[in-house]
A and B are shown apart, each in its own frame.
Chain A
Amino acid sequence: MESQSHSSDDTTMIAESVREVRQTFSSGKTREESWRREQLKRLLSLLLEREDDICRALGQDLGKHHVESYRDEVGPLIKSVNYALQGLKKWMAGRKAELPLAAFPASAQLVPEPLGVVLIMSSWNFPFGLCLEPLVGAIAAGNGAVIKPSELSPVSSSVLAELVHAYLDTTAIKIVQGGVSVGEQLLQQKWDKIFFTGGAKVGRVVMTAAARNLTPVALELGGKCPAVVDVLSSSWDQKIAMKRILSAKFGTCAGQACIAIDYILVEKKFSSTLVELLKTAIFSMFGENQKENIARIINKSHFSRLRNLLNEPMVTNSIVHGGWLDEDNLFIEPTLLLDPPVNSGIMSEEIFGPLLPIITLERIEDSIEFINSMPRPLAIYAFTNSEGLKKKLSSRTSSGSIVFNDAIIQYVADSFPFGGVGESGFGRYHGKFSFEVFSHEKVIARRSFLVDFWFRYPPWNDHKLQLFKSAYVFDYLGILLILLGLKKS
């Protein structure tokens, strides 16, 4: 991990790196289908051969279990690369389009082209996934790319740099490591697109910097993703729902995920049953040795942040399960809270941790109003068998996505766009959307010299005006008649 350890502010190094990538892009190399395919295949080898290194790094940075790392990062990446390899030819080919009669004879196509040199900035909770999923799209679309992993997950950042250096074409794909200062310097450069995953505060900084160069951005931010839990009468449904809820909170980076369940909404009459079900399921899922199957909090700063959320007086009183904090090991056990005050910190900020508030409502339909009183989240979850409730929720709330009877799983669904709306961001990726977010869809219209409509040209007169009026409303018969002199202007 020697040559790529750029943790010092090195403006020259950054400018040089970007210049090299731009030069490579200008040479046309990255536009070739063969280059894109080769890089994707090498990325696949990287993931298949170095799974252990990746999972070890995630274990060191976040205390993630090997299986969790595979399930949430390595596995989905393998799937995404294969999907891109499969779709690449078709995606690159573009599509045909229609032109109006006034352009006859003509044809038109939409041809995707790479944007150029793109910057990918990742967050620390899924350091490999959030760097490499966008990279798959950037490569497939034929761009050069510079990736800045988060400095808060330093082992992963370092391993990522080593692996990219070992497997990929570093004249076109580079990792630049570092903290805030390096990030700022990168933002001074001119990019053809910036793809940012992280919090809204930094998102604003990124977009403001991008404005200077008219650089388009995609922002994958966060929000408070609610899970609406309806009355479930079948014990099977209850069991599955609990597993999915707990896995989507405590089992996914200890709740430190943009699409983790942030809080639960449930009807008062079902709430005590729910709390019991959750407690039972926590025990059976995480057992005695919780630390083995649950990730750590990333650092002391976030640990303190979460502890402060719990320490608000009314909030502490609402804890119904858990609440044990182990600062030395940066571990917080799965914690359930019942009806903390709605204006408390834990209910106003994105929690991003293993604390699960349960808010009770008179009727489950009230969840719609509750959700709408908050900024639009990246995802809304609902566990219910009621088609009516599903319809109401879907049509009356807005979010990046909405998932019924499961959670997090939308992350691995290639045919669904993954992205936010409002405060949860804009732009989307995964599957073909990754290819599109790093492409410009260029219009190509072709005409022949053979037929030229003389009425297109001045000098103008009423006759020509009539012809246009007909042409524009696609009144072909009208055009013919006027041309033949059979219809008066």
Chain B
Amino acid sequence: MAVGVEEVVKELRSTYTSGKTKTLEWRASQLKAIIRIATHHENEIVEALRSDLKKPELESFVHEICAVLSACKLALKELHRWMKPQKVKTSMTTFPASGEIVPEPLGVVLVISTWNYPFLLSLEPVIGAIAAGNVVVLKPSEVAPATSSVLSKLLGEYMDTTAVKVIEGAVPETTALLEQKWDKIFYTGSGKVGRIILAAAAKHLTPVVLELGGKCPVVVDANINLKVAARRIISGKWGCNSGQTCVSPDYVITTKEYASKLVDVLSAELENFYGKDPLQSKDLSSIINAHHFDRVTKLLDDEKVSGKIVFGGQQDKTNLKIAPTIILDVPDDSLIMNEEIFGPLLPIVTVNKIKESFDVINAKGKPLAAYLFTNDQKLKAEFIGSVSAGGITINDVALHFAEAGLPFGGVGESGMGAYHGKFSFDTFSHKKAVLQRGFGGDVAARYPPYAPWKLQFLKALLRGSILGVLRALLGW
């Protein structure tokens, strides 16, 4: 397998060197090919997602297929603009000069994807890589095997396989891939593997984007439209792959006073969405596999936690389903409050005053997203000022995830680098500075032999002082 990988990279590098992938035509053709894949094979993709995750068709459509389509369409529309050099103003220090910043592809890039949005999180980075003119290897997650297989088949059929390759596999194949020299590695997944990727990249000085996770908190203040807030929380948690989403609300923080109200409204809305027997609802994804099912249910093993369940708690191991479960007032040192849950359990932590929630959040690693429901302008400003996260949404959940105009990425433990829309193009590009000078307008003061008057001149020049420059020239 290792030999195979080396050959693949060699072939890709020679395709890249040929210059083919740099043309707008090639990039557009590949983006159009992805559009064809997503439009003509919608059913196959939805089936694969159902097989891997029991993902409801609407989620598959909205969160994965549509998102891929809109990413492609945006790139096709904007590509010529993104590829254009950006003119740069030059200052007196380099006068006379002109310059621009020119985007170029990095070369041969590796995209390693994950299992919860296996279609989207494989193709969205690939779209960025192609738009920027790179050649790319995609390694889909083996934990979502049906989607991995569909991706391999469809990309193999529709894309230019001398430049875009899918390599399926698990740890041995990933390890072999990481030994190769890449011009960029884009990884979506966990912090544990993120560290391995970064260490492997260090050997070749390869820049890396890591889209990781974290415990995304939701702070719920009083005096809000609780029904709307509850619906949004529910849709961001259980309506997004049953909580198996990096930007899903992980836990809620509210005041002791408000907690029971919140629990009541959440419970009522959950029943509206998923019925009285949620394990039977077709609108809920299942847990990806037995390993994760055990991992999530283990979080409830602690009796200090299981005793606090106020809603849900039903499990169906055969079908890998866990019902939406709310837990109130879990101890801060419990496992459920220290690991990313990535499942349909929602702990609610209570504080005396709502502002104490900031300390709770800041005591943990920086998350990918943080949410706040409030009408209090001052609280909003304080939240934004003191909570660090990849992104913050006020009065909704997961919104910024969907928007192509906004960079999507983490900070600290939740990752490094960002993408979506133009940010995808940028992350797979090198922005080369191009500076043009002529032979006229020369500043003799720059060169040896050095003399005091040259020092005066340089002082004025580097301070941008035209008067000073004149004085130095005139010997004053």
Contact = CB atoms under 8 A, between A and B. Distances in A.
Interface in A388-428: 390, 394, 396, 398-406, 409-410, 412-418, 421-423, 425-428
Interface string B23-53: 0000000000000000000000000000000
A29 interface: no
Interface residues of A, number: 105
Contacts of A214: 191, 194-195, 198, 210, 212, 412-413, 415-416
Given A106-B399, A394-B102, A412-B93, A65 B436 contact: no
Given A67-B455, A457-B239, A402 B205 contact: no
A200 interface: yes
A87 interface: no
B308 interface: no
B88 interface: yes
Contacts of A285: 447-449
Contacts of A210: 198, 202
Contacts of A418: 433
A440 B388 contact: yes
Given A65-B450, A67-B451, A294-B448, A445 B392 contact: yes
A488 interface: no
A91 interface: no
B225 A449 contact: yes
A294 B203 CA distance: 36
Given A70-B458, A200-B205, A398-B432, A441 B93 contact: no
Interface in A432-461: 440-449, 452, 456-460
A67 B88 CA distance: 29
Contacts of B417: 216
A446 B57 contact: no
Contacts, number: 300
A110 B391 CA distance: 9
Given A401-B434, A458-B274, A446 B394 contact: yes
B299 interface: no
B243 interface: no
Interface stretch (B140-148, B226-234, B341-349): B226-234
B312 interface: no
A270 interface: no
B154 interface: no
A218 B69 CA distance: 34
Given A416-B88, A457-B231, A406 B437 contact: yes
Nearest to B234: A457
Nearest to B98: A404
A236 B449 contact: no
B448 A442 contact: no
A82 B462 CA distance: 10
A306 to B, nearest CB: 20
A113 B390 CA distance: 10
A293 B228 CA distance: 73
Interface residues of B, number: 108
B198 A402 contact: no
Contacts of B5: none
Contact of A207 (B202, B239, B449): B202
A396 B225 CA distance: 58
Contact of B195 (A70, A211, A448): A211
Interface stretch (B58-66, B113-121, B288-296): B58-66
A447 B432 contact: no
B313 interface: no
Contacts of A31: 385
B205 A417 contact: no
A106 B399 CA distance: 10
Given A240-B439, A409-B437, A442-B411, A286 B448 contact: yes
Q: Among the interface residues B90, B94, B392, which one has the most CB atoms of the partner chain A within 10 A?
A: B94
Contact of B448 (A75, A251, A422, A426): A251
B463 interface: yes
Contacts of B436: 390, 403-405
Given A67-B455, A71-B458, A402-B432, A458 B224 contact: no
A241 interface: yes
Interface string B369-392: 000000100001000111011111
Q: Among the interface residues A68, A71, A423, A448, which one has the most CB atoms of the partner chain B within 10 A?
A: A71
Interface stretch (B250-258, B315-323, B329-337, B400-408): B400-408
Nearest to B371: A445
B439 A247 contact: no
A479 interface: no
Q: Among the interface residues B56, B61, B431, which one has the most CB atoms of the partner chain A within 10 A?
A: B431
Interface in A40-68: 65-68
Given A293-B450, A401-B432, A76 B455 contact: no
A445 B391 contact: yes
Nearest to A193: B416
B57 A465 contact: yes
A8 to B, nearest CB: 29
Q: Among the interface residues A400, A425, A427, A443, which one has the most CB atoms of the partner chain B within 10 A?
A: A443
Interface string A171-215: 000000000000000000000100000001001100110111010
B388 A78 contact: no
A275 interface: no
B399 A103 contact: yes
B454 interface: yes
Nearest to A71: B458
Nearest to A237: B439
Nearest to B17: A372
A423 B380 CA distance: 44
A288 to B, nearest CB: 10
Interface of B: 17, 19, 56-58, 61-62, 66-67, 69-70, 73, 88-91, 93-94, 97, 99, 101-102, 104, 106-107, 183, 191, 194-195, 198-199, 201-203, 205, 207, 210, 212, 224-225, 228-229, 231-232, 234-235, 239, 273-275, 281-283, 375, 380, 384-386, 388-396, 399-400, 402-408, 411-413, 415-418, 430-439, 442, 446-451, 454-455, 458-459, 461-464
17 contacts: A68-B450, A82-B464, A97-B405, A106-B396, A203-B205, A294-B448, A406-B97, A406-B437, A415-B88, A428-B431, A442-B388, A443-B408, A445-B406, A449-B228, A452-B228, A459-B281, A460-B283
Report, nearest first, the 3 A-B pairs whose CB atoms are least far apart.
A443-B391, A207-B202, A75-B462
Given A211-B195, A422-B106, A449-B224, 7 more contacts: A66-B455, A67-B454, A75-B461, A98-B403, A247-B447, A442-B388, A458-B274
